[in-house]
Amino acid sequence: MCECTLSAAEQQAVELDTLRHSTAHLMAAAIQELWPGTHFGVGPAVEDGFYYDVALPGRHKLSTDDLERIEATMRKIAKQNLPLARAEVSREEATAQFTEQPFKEELIAELPEGEVISTYTLGDFCDLCRGPHVNYTSKLKHFKLTKVAGAYWRADASREQLQRIYGTAWKTADELASYLNFLEEAEKRDHRKLGKELDLFSFNELVGPGLPLYHPKGARTLRLLQDWLRTELIARGYVEVITPHIYKSDMWKMSGHYDHYKDDMFFFQVEEGEDSEGNPKVTEYGVKPMNCPGHVMVYSANLHSYRDLPMRIFEFGTVYRNEMSGVVHGLMRARGFTQDDAHLLVRPDQVQGEVLGMLDLVDYVMSTFGFSYTAELSTRPEDSIGTDEMWELATSALRDALEAKGIAYEINEGDGAFYGPKIDIKLKDAIGRIWQCSTIQFDGNMPGLFGAEYRTADNTAETPYMLHRAILGSMERFFGILLEHYNGALPTWLVPTQAVVIPISEDQNEAARAVASELAAAGVRVEVDTANERMNAKIARAQSQRVPYMLVLGKREAESGEVSVRHRSEGDIGAMPVEAVAEKILSEHP
Ligand SMILES: [Zn+2]
Ligand SMILES: [Zn+2]
C-alpha cells in the first residue's frame, strides 16, 4: 500500500511498530553480546511492544536478573548511537552469512524466488530482515523488558523450544510510565490470583491444562450469572434445551466440523455392536466444540409452520476445544467452557427484527455491568456459498440493526464466515482493555445440512435461516473478565456471600445466628463469623473477601434489634433494623 493513503492514526501505528521492532533488534544485539552463540528465531512488533525468540547456548534459562542485564546492555548500545544499516544480498550471500544461525537459514530457504533479501546490521549483530527500522539507535529510549515465556519454533510443538523475551517500547517517557502502571494494575487484578484469594476455582495437573475446577464459591457466582440470564432469555421468548456432550463422528462429518475443525476437537473410540461378519465394530465419537448441530437437530425433530418462527433455542452448553497447552490462560482461554449459546431459526423477513432483539439484549447485559462497547461487522468473503440475494439480505439486516440501535461499528470487509456475515461486540473494561465476547452470526448453510424446514403459507417446504449468537460468549471467561473489571468486588447480586454477621463478643453469637437466619429467610446469602478473634480481624477478613455488607452486632445492637452496617467500599453506613438490611441488599439485583 502507498504510504500516502494512510490516515494519521495508521501512520502513527506504523511508526510505533517500526520503533518497537527496531528495539527488538537492539535487544538481540545485547543478547548476542552477553551470550555469543545464541540462535535467533524471529523478533516482530506486537501489540504494545515486541518480542524476540532465542535459543541460548547451553540452554541457559533466563532469570529476572538476566532481563535487567540485557536491558542495561541495550541502553549502553543505544547510547553509542549506532546505525541500523541495510544491505541487499544474494541468496548465496545470505546463506553464507547465516551458517551459524539455523533458524535464519530455514527462513532464507523458504524465501520465494526473486525476492529481494535484505540484512540489517547493528554494531556486531546482523539480522535477516525486511525492515523498516529507525535509522539510529539513539531513537530507542523508552523501553522496558517485561517477561520471558516459552515458545516453540514456528508455533510447532514438535520443533525446538525457545525462550520468548517480551518488551515494550513507546515514543515518550510518559507513555512508557503510564503503560507500566497499567501492567501493574492488570497484574494486581489478575483473575487467576483473585481466584485463589477468593477461593473460587483452581487447576490441577492431574486434570490437564485449561480445565478449571470450580469451588463452591466460584460455582455459586457462575450459577447466579446463569440464573439471571436464563430469566431474561425466557422473558424474551427463548426456549431452553439440553443436548449431549458427545456425538458420533458421522454427525461431525455431516456438520462439516470433521473436515474443518478436527484439530481443535477431542475424539475417542468405543467398541459398539458388530459388523456384518460378527466382528466388534469400532465407532468414533467427538466431544462437542460447539452446540449448533444439536440445536438444529432439536428443531428438525418436529414439523414447523411459518407461524412457529422465529424459534429461539438456547442452552448453557459446555463445549471442549483442544487448545494448545501453551496458549491456555486461566479462565480466559480454557479447554472446557460453557457458552450462553442460542440458535434462532428464522424466516427471511424476520432476520432484521431478531438481530435488533439480540442487540437490545447485548445492550442490557453490557450496561448491567457498566461496560461500554463497539461492534465490528464482517462481510462476505471471497470463498462463500449462498446467493447474492441471501448475502444482501443478511448483510443489510445486520448493518441496519446496528444503525437503528446507534451502535458505533467498523466494517471488516470480506472477513465473514463462508456461510454468512457476522457482528462481533467488543467491550471495554475498567482499565481500558478491550475484550471480544458477544457474536451474532448469520448462517444460510447449516439448517439445510440437517434438513431443517418449515411450511410456508401456501404449504411448500422452505429451509429457515439460522442466527447463532452468544452474549457473554464463554460464561467462565466472562466471569474472569468481571473479576478483573471489578478487581474481585463483584456486584452484590453476584457475590457468593452478600453479608457476614460479626458478633463483637461470644455473648452475641446466639443473637448473630438469629440475625443470619432472618436474612437467609429473606433470601440473602449470609454467613456468621463466630471465630474467637477481635472484631477488627473479622472485618479485615470480610473486607479482603470483598463481602459487600458486614453487620456488626454488639450488646447495644442485640438489645435494640438492629445491626451496625459496614459496606466494603462506603465504610460505616450506620445502624439499621435487620429487615431494612435485607431490603437494601436485595434491591441491588438488576
Ligand atoms: Zn528488522
Ligand atoms: Zn452456533
pLDDT, average across residues 115-119? 92
Percent of the chain with pLDDT over 90: 91
Nearest-angstrom CA–CA distance, 369 and 485: 9
Tens of pLDDT, residues 208-250: 999 999 999 999 999 999 999 999 999 999 999 999 999 999 9
**Is the predicted pLDDT of residue 1 greater than 80, yes or no?**
no
10 Å CB burial of residue 59 (0-12, 13-18, 19+) is exposed
pLDDT, average across residues 126-140? 93
- Residue 376 alpha carbon to ligand 2 centre in Å: 18
Which residues are designated catalytic?
292, 321, 339, 341, 343, 422, 468
Nearest-angstrom CA–CA distance, 253 and 260: 9
pLDDT at 148: 95
10 Å CB burial of residue 235 (0-12, 13-18, 19+) is exposed
Q: Is 378 in contact with 418 (CB distance < 8 Å)?
A: no
Quickly state the pLDDT bin for 5 (edges 50, 70, 90). Answer: low
Helix (H) or strand (E) holding 344: strand 336-346
Q: What are phi and psi of 329, to 5 degrees?
A: -150, 95
Nearest ligand to the CA of 119 is: 1
- Residue 342 alpha carbon to ligand 2 centre in Å: 7
Tens of pLDDT, residues 452-506: 999 999 999 999 999 999 999 999 999 999 999 999 999 999 999 999 999 999 9
- Residue 66 alpha carbon to ligand 1 centre in Å: 23
Q: Could you identify the residue written with the cell 467452557?
A: 337
If we measure between CA atoms, which residue out of 146, 148, 153 comes closest to residue 164?
148
R_g of the chain, CA atoms, integer Å: 29
- Residue 118 alpha carbon to ligand 1 centre in Å: 10
Q: Which residue(s) pair with 329 in the sheet?
A: 333
If we measure between CA atoms, which residue out of 138, 178, 145 comes closest to residue 19?
138
